[in-house]
Chain A
Amino acid sequence: MNKIVKKLLIRAIGLALVVLPAYTAGGSVLIKNGTILTVTKGVVAKGDLLVINGLIKEIGENIAAPKGIKVIDASGKYVIPGIIDSHTHIALAGTNEGSEAITPEADVGEVVNADDVSILTALSGGVTMAHTMHGSANPIGGPNVVLKMKWGKPSEDLIVHEALKTLKFALGENVKQSSRTITVGGPPPRYPQTRMGTNAIIRREMLKARAYRKEWDRYNKLKAFKTPPKNLLPPRKDLRMEALSDLLEGKMVARCHDYQATEALEFLGLAKEFGFKVQALEHAWEAYKIADELAAAKVGISVFADSWAYKMEAAEGIAYDAGYCAKKGVLVSINSDSAERIRRLFNDASKTMKYGGLTENEALSLITINPAIQLGVEKIVGSLEVGKQGDIAIFNEHPMSAYTRCEMTIIEGDVYFDRAQYLKDREEAAKKAEAPKKGGRS
């Protein structure tokens, strides 16, 4: 074919791909003239970012706008990867199956509530993805789920299937119900009521799960015989044991709520004993005491910046926890664990610059690429790189400045939070509220 015709054809196809409505999910948008903090590939001081059909197509200077694309002027603003909250409880119809201590059959993925207005709260703080979890009522809670904050979409569209499957564990005061008063003659307290019992019950369930697995292996072996024995019945399928089996087989990783240093070390010991992986410790207020051990074991932590001293086990939590551990080579994320704090994860991350001496980019990593790695989604989100999903937040000042605010939050190229629009809507609503008062019919 003629070279020129070929070129034209390729151009035409390219243009068509860009201009035609996508059959894949995800929007297209061109963000112009912002300071782009990619997190992993440096800063583009005055740059453009192009998202096509939900994926980042190009990052650079002076990107030409494909016809018909939505253009966002980010002059004077900062463009960062969408913030990832590694530990929350939003968008769920219930977070604890506290009636029993071991409940891994209870899966929060079955009770996603896409109508939770906390999703909007998260979006107003630049958060595009959240790892929403069991609470900490139980030594073994159950599977968690990772959600995109796609307000208005059906619940199944929020679930991030690429994420690692995580199983929530918890240790310490919440599990042993320290804050509950035991009434004489009342119902007996739930076992375990000590940290010893907590570890013992986890060990017990792991041993049970091992035995369960052995039963099934035996059955499967027998079934595979050329002439399987007569009257061969499979063992009873037990959802609780199935979940723990998955953990032992490496199909799930553990995320463990822990405060004290001893607790953490012993839990890592349990993990070693049974061969399951601890992906991260949650809260880990004493992680700084065992930073070396955590770094060596390649166990991450997901912590607050400085919300401490609310329980005895948080009494030795220090604001240097996150920053110090990060410097020691521990993979650290900062989380909110709260529908209120989720609005200001960037403020919390910035505190590690003061308490820990982290650089701007290191601090920003704590709420972007680090939680992405912890959740196993670093290939698709967590930084602004070509090929990753277009999850983006735009701030009016540097995100590590206390004076900043989130202006816009974009998920896979679609705008889910727009402060300018919000202000316009407020103005119109205010005008409407005024109008009937100013004469006319009442």
Chain B
Amino acid sequence: MHKKAYLFGSVFLILSLIGPAAADVGPTYAVKNAKIVPVIGPPIDKGVLIIRNGLIEAVGLLDKVAIPEDAEVIDADGLIAYPGLISTHTNLFLEVARPATGQGSPEFTAQQALVQDRPAETPELCVFKLIKPSKAAIDSFLKIGVTTVLVAPNRGIIQGQSVLLNLNGEKAEPMVLKNPVALHINFTTARGTYPSSLMGTIAFLRQSFLDAEYYAASQAQYAKILKGMKRPEYDPFLEALVPFVTEKKPVIFQCNNLEDIKRALKIIEEFKLNALLSHANEAWRDAAILKKTPIPLLVTLDFRPPNSSQYVNQGADLRKKAEAEIYPANAANLAKEGIKFALTTFGLNDGAAVLKNIQAAIRAGLPKDEALRALTIQPAQYLGLSQQLGSLEPGKIANVILTKGALFDEKTQVDKVFVDGVLWKF
């Protein structure tokens, strides 16, 4: 028996030594007496939530869940617990890009080459390399309950690949939840080079995907034969695009107006891409099409109408109405049509502005619980991370917010935030 214990102990020791180095995730918490809104399942009027090792260990009624010995007890009487909110489209921690011109600048440096030159688009770019975390930015988002953000690249047409971060500190690596997440494409134009017009951009995108297919086919062919065939020329741009065309890795198209949505859907159909649409603040105008061809929508809370919008160019009164009423009702209209979507903070870099717009969307008719789902479980599902995020369920990552007052109400304050199970110090 002695031998067995010794064996067991040494194995345990060895395992604990060779296992992944566990960062110190702080105390175990027992959040007591809170109202709990798990999102999946009905709310619990008075419950307990146990956080251990960065994960939710247990959630339930006060008398149903035992409070562990090692737990720090937090009396959350009068507070409400929600899952941390997820924004699946931001440019957080990135340097502001110069705005792309709509039509292209007149100073062209492009030399006419016999073979079409490709502009410096960067599908291979992982935006994680560029992020510069800042506490101020994190505080601003945590203060309104956003614990998880997708950071997307912000330059170019084929912009690069995004990263999903948990806002748990100022070091980049520990924040990473998923890297890369998706390839981002924006309906914009290049400056001073091809394509300098939107129609050029569309042709460029189509040609790029065609070339990626061709490249993959040539590569596959060559791999089969090897002898007797000239090797296809290496192309890093196409190399980076191939997975999105052959393996159907996710692509996110930023649609800045109702036409971009249709343009994106055409390209997605042509190349059978696995795609999501972001921005989409005019999506309600395409409701019929979106009902016919459902696609994940990452709808921004930035209500500023696109400059091309007819609501903006027919006098000052209509413009005011557009900004105050029509565009804030986007999400409400989608919900009315039964169209699913996630809400994002894209274009809003300040937590207070985000909250104001969520409230405006709700005033415009978006049901509160729809808003909550659009910021929790829906984005988690779109990201394929519904096992880890988006609700208060045992086993999920412990991103928990405690609010004084119902979430999104006028006077509500976020009282406490747990990110990866650690209580955040503002």
Direct contact of A and B (CB under 8 A): yes
Write the nearest CB–CB distance from A222 to chain B, whole angstroms.
15
CB pair B199–A94 under 8 Å, yes or no, is yes
Write the nearest CB–CB distance from A106 to chain B, whole angstroms.
4
CB pair B207–A105 under 8 Å, yes or no, is yes
- Tell me the complex Cα distance, A114–B195, Å: 23
B248-260 interface code vs A (CB 8 A; 1 in, 0 out): 0000000001010
Most A-side CB within 10 Å, residue of B103, B104, B196 = B196
Known: A105-B207, A110-B263. A115 touches B195 (CB 8 A): no
* Contact partner, B259, options A93, A98, A180, Cβ 8 Å: A93
CB pair B111–A188 under 8 Å, yes or no, is yes
A10 at the B interface (CB under 8 A): no
CB pair B110–A190 under 8 Å, yes or no, is yes
**Residue in A closest to B111 when the chains form the complex, CB atoms:** A188
CB pair B200–A103 under 8 Å, yes or no, is yes
- Tell me the complex Cα distance, A380–B314, Å: 32
- Tell me the complex Cα distance, A95–B196, Å: 10
* Contact partner, A98, options B102, B104, B308, Cβ 8 Å: B104
How many A-B residue pairs have C-beta atoms within 8 angstroms? Tell me: 121
A95-110 interface code vs B (CB 8 A; 1 in, 0 out): 1111111110111101
B90-106 interface code vs A (CB 8 A; 1 in, 0 out): 00000000000011101
**Residue in B closest to A233 when the chains form the complex, CB atoms:** B221
CB pair A190–B108 under 8 Å, yes or no, is yes
Known: A106-B199, A240-B116. A94 touches B109 (CB 8 A): no
- Chain B residues within an 8 Å CB radius of A431: none
CB pair B197–A97 under 8 Å, yes or no, is yes
Most A-side CB within 10 Å, residue of B102, B104, B218 = B104
B179 at the A interface (CB under 8 A): no
B275-325 residues with Cβ-Cβ distance < 8 A to A are 308-310, 313-314
- Chain B residues within an 8 Å CB radius of A240: 116, 203, 207
Write the nearest CB–CB distance from B311 to chain A, whole angstroms.
8
B214 at the A interface (CB under 8 A): yes
Chain B at the A interface: SS class: loop
Chain A at the B interface: SS class: loop
A174 at the B interface (CB under 8 A): no
- Tell me the complex Cα distance, A156–B109, Å: 35
A82-139 residues with Cβ-Cβ distance < 8 A to B are 93-103, 105-108, 110-117
- Chain B residues within an 8 Å CB radius of A102: 112
Known: A93-B198, A238-B207, A239-B206. A187 touches B107 (CB 8 A): yes
- Chain A residues within an 8 Å CB radius of B263: 110
**Residue in A closest to B206 when the chains form the complex, CB atoms:** A239
CB pair B195–A106 under 8 Å, yes or no, is yes
Known: A115-B309, A233-B217. A106 touches B104 (CB 8 A): no
Number of interface residues of A (CB under 8 A): 39
B344 at the A interface (CB under 8 A): no
A221 at the B interface (CB under 8 A): no
Most A-side CB within 10 Å, residue of B197, B210, B214 = B197
CB pair A239–B210 under 8 Å, yes or no, is yes
* Contact partner, A142, options B111, B116, B199, Cβ 8 Å: B199
- Chain A residues within an 8 Å CB radius of B228: 231
Known: A93-B308, A188-B111, A236-B214. A98 touches B199 (CB 8 A): no
CB pair A155–B262 under 8 Å, yes or no, is yes
- Chain A residues within an 8 Å CB radius of B200: 97, 99, 103, 105-106
B8-26 residues with Cβ-Cβ distance < 8 A to A are none
* Contact partner, B199, options A97, A101, A155, A236, Cβ 8 Å: A97
- Chain B residues within an 8 Å CB radius of A238: 207
- Tell me the complex Cα distance, A332–B413, Å: 71
Known: A93-B259, A113-B308. A108 touches B110 (CB 8 A): no
- Tell me the complex Cα distance, A433–B198, Å: 40
Write the nearest CB–CB distance from A230 to chain B, whole angstroms.
9
Write the nearest CB–CB distance from A308 to chain B, whole angstroms.
25
B409 at the A interface (CB under 8 A): no
Write the nearest CB–CB distance from B176 to chain A, whole angstroms.
37
B224-255 residues with Cβ-Cβ distance < 8 A to A are 225, 228-229
CB pair B104–A99 under 8 Å, yes or no, is yes
Top 5 A-B pairs, shortest CB-CB distance: A115-B310, A105-B203, A97-B200, A94-B197, A99-B196
